[in-house]
Structure 1
Amino acid sequence: MEWFLELNTEDQEFVKQLVLSSGSLKQLAKIYDVSYPTVRTRLNMVIQTINLIDSKQANSFEGRIMKMVIAEKISLDVAKEIISDYREANK
């Protein structure tokens, strides 16, 4: 869920409103008082941002460790410890 934290505040709020409107872009357009195409464009931009964040994380050391957790090669607790040690060593 680190991708969410890397979004700017406005994009985080947009994602929150999208979830609260049950994914309805039509409802989201009403909330923001803009047209449906404007909301769709904004959503596409947020999607691109998330994809960029994911690709950076996937290629990072931490991303590779998390892939090992997903593949059940290591436990989440072990992954957290490895990442914590890595961050400490790279300060």
Structure 2
Amino acid sequence: MAIELLPDWMTGLEEEDVSFIKKFILASGSLKEVAAQYGVTYPTVRLRLDRLIQKIRIGEDTAADPYIATIKRLVVNDKLDFDTAKLLIAEYKRTKGTDLG
């Protein structure tokens, strides 16, 4: 599958995310079955799904503002803490607002 054939929301996903989506679909959306396949608890799979949902939403926001989408993606991937992200986004918006005026 060529990258240019992927929908925009999928381009930011990692290979393991796509594998999870495949398992989820093949399990007919059963988180219990996916948990059994991975050998983890239901809450663990639920958290994984919630993070994947966040990644997809962030991917949809990328076109609107790639910088903010990147910051959000770093938070979702635990590479940046939430408070720092809020400060970076606020400063970016403030600077961007003053550049326009």
- Taking structure 1 as the reference length, the TM-score comes to 0.60
List, as ranges, runs of 4+ consecutive aligned residues in structure 1 with deviation greater than 4 Å: none
Q: Which has the higher helix share?
A: 1
Partner of 1:36: 42
Q: CA deviation at 1:6?
A: 2.3
Alignment gaps of 5+ in structure 1: 61-91
Q: Secondary structure at 1:6's aligned position in 2?
A: coil
Say how many residue pairs are matched: 59
- Indicate the structure whose relative CO is greater, using CA pairs within 8 Å and at least 6 residues apart: 2
Q: Indicate the percent of aligned positions where both proteins have the same amino acid.
A: 42
CA offsets per residue over residues 38-83 of structure 1, 9 Å max, x none? Answer: 00000000000000001113x26xxxxxxxxxxxxxxxxxxxxxxx
Partner of 1:49: 55
- Taking structure 2 as the reference length, the TM-score comes to 0.55
Partner of 1:85: none
Partner of 1:4: 10
Partner of 2:29: 23
